[in-house]
Amino acid sequence: MPDREPLIRVENVHQRFGDNHVLRGVTMDVYEGETLLLLGGSGGGKSVLMKHFLGLLSPLEGKVWVKGTDISRMSERQLGPVRKMMGMMFQNGALFDSMTVGQNIAFPLLESGLKDEKEIERLVTESLEIVRLPGQEDKMPADLSGGMRKRVALARAIVDKPACVLYDEPHAGLDPITADSIDHLVKCLQRDHGMTNVIVTHEMRSVFRIADRIVFLKTGQIYWEGTPEELQASEDPELKNFVEGDSGGEW
């Protein structure tokens, strides 16, 4: 997308945990307003790479820019404004079981210092409407289905109006119909609210439905990148095996 400025730029990023060299010189861009999917097998480095976008991890080598600012060596305090631009939807939702739905969604607003109760209430209500769960503020997470928990987690991720939402396996544990509803919300956020989406997933149906661009990671390196149409047309045997669900354990 050469006509757009990258929201996130990663250049030659390396990361290692002990003897495990998880990222090996990854270079890539995430463009404003796109839905980018990160694919690859378990241990390929997808979630670790995503943590660098938030500054949760600092690269051993290389740099990460967000909106043109190098965040690679920022302190926790300096990272505050950067993280305000990002929302994160975790794989299992990561809701606080002792809090109501409304309190869960309001949590990042309170953490950022917002004290106006009416404004907090307005933003929580608006987020629940966006994810198609109006009027659920007083329910507890234990009373929700798996799909509803995921949507509440998404409402919390977008309540602060981030520029970008990061999703770690948002389809995990969901039936196809509920997974489709998550995909619909992702595209609505992109189309109606101008949000950038970066998604780690193994759900191939979703890949071909919602991705603008795909980046494949293999053993900590970018193996391939392109559009869903290019992925479908690829004759590369490893890509074909992955798409057809037969990775041979090599990813």
Q: What is the pLDDT of residues 194-250, one digit of tens each?
A: 999 999 988 888 899 999 999 999 999 999 999 999 999 999 998 988 888 744 334
Residues near 104 by beta carbon (within 8 Å), at least 6 away in sequence: 95, 96, 141, 152, 156
Residues near 156 by beta carbon (within 8 Å), at least 6 away in sequence: 87, 95, 104, 105, 107, 108, 127
Strands (E), the chain: 6-17, 20-31, 35-39, 61-66, 69-70, 86-89, 164-168, 196-200, 213-218, 221-226
Q: Which residues is 70 bridged to in the sheet?
A: 65
* Whether pLDDT at 1 is above 80: no
Q: Domains in the chain, start-ordered, CATH in brackets?
A: 6-243 (3.40.50.300)
Q: What is the pLDDT of residues 6-47, one digit of tens each?
A: 999 999 999 999 989 999 999 999 999 999 999 988 778 899
Please give the Cα distance from 172 to 168 (Å, whole number): 9
